[in-house]
Amino acid sequence: MDLGLAGLTVVVTGGASNIGRGIALAFAGESANVWIADRDEAQARRVAELSPERVRCIGCDVTDPASVEGMTRAVLEGAGRIDVLVNCAGWVMDRLFLEKPRDEWEREVDVTLWGFVNCTRAVLPSMIERAHGSIVSIGSDAGRIGEYREAVYSGAKAAVIAMSKAIAREVGRHGIRLNVVCPGLVPPQPEATGRESMWSGELAGVLASGEALAKAVRAYPLRRSGTAQDVADAVLFLASDRASYITGQTLSVDGGYVMV
């Protein structure tokens, strides 16, 4: 199926590592022009080198409105438009609620929720002006069911899902769609993980052993973990005009972990 993504301008926040990296490269593979917006510029440049004709990178801290506005202006000046925004930047530390220090709560909300708000608000005016655009945000099943040891992150992702629906109702008349993709377990690959990734620190040890991963996937009906490509395929479809009558929806790409 030709998704008609060739030549579109796509911004992927958090596109330097893991799922974001896979999404950026998948769009590039469809001949879209991709801008990776990430605070880890060194890792973003490594991704851009894999598809130098299609991928550019720009430093951006999604928690800082001024940084996001600057990134948006730079893309609009360089490309003339933004057709697709993928809100992929996120952060979580797996820990019991009562054991989490406040700085972890705040970082989870700042990156996961305020990052979504800042980036979505920044791109909407130009999309409304052109009466066309698609915003696909990476959610989480934690935001659908509430996940053990991820209370604040669950709340932040639930907010991303709810706000995507609310904004979709507001801007649908302008030809703009918002949808959410909730990935299942996608183990990080070392070569795809930058130093700013949440998987580069303490969280990396959670699935360090093959035994731990095997135990985790037993919770999934398809009995396997996901890949960045699994998630990217869903994102590309929802971003494309092949999904032109789909908005305000949440799709779990999780091997059947959540069925709602």
Question: Which of these is catalytic: 148, 153, 220, 257?
Answer: 153
Judge whether 153 counts as a catalytic residue.
yes
For the chain, how long is the longest CA-to-CA vector? 52
Helices and strands in the chain, H and E counts? 9, 7
> Looking up tokens 């996608």, which residue turns up?
186
User: Cα-flanking dihedrals φ and ψ of residue 212, to 5°?
Assistant: -65, -40
* Rounded Cα gap, residues 153 and 107, in angstroms: 10
DSSP secondary structure string for all residues of 127-190: HHHHT-EEEEEE--THHHH--TT-HHHHHHHHHHHHHHHHHHHHHGGGTEEEEEEEE---PPPG
Is the distance from CB of 60 to CB of 13 less than 8 angstroms?
yes
DSSP for residue 222 = T
Neighbour order of strands in the sheet with 250-253: 55-59, 33-38, 9-13, 84-87, 133-138, 176-183, 250-253
Buried-state track 225-258, b at ≥16 Cβ within 10 A, e below 16:
bbbbebbbbbbbbbbbeebeeebbbbbbbbbebb
Residues serving a catalytic function are: 153
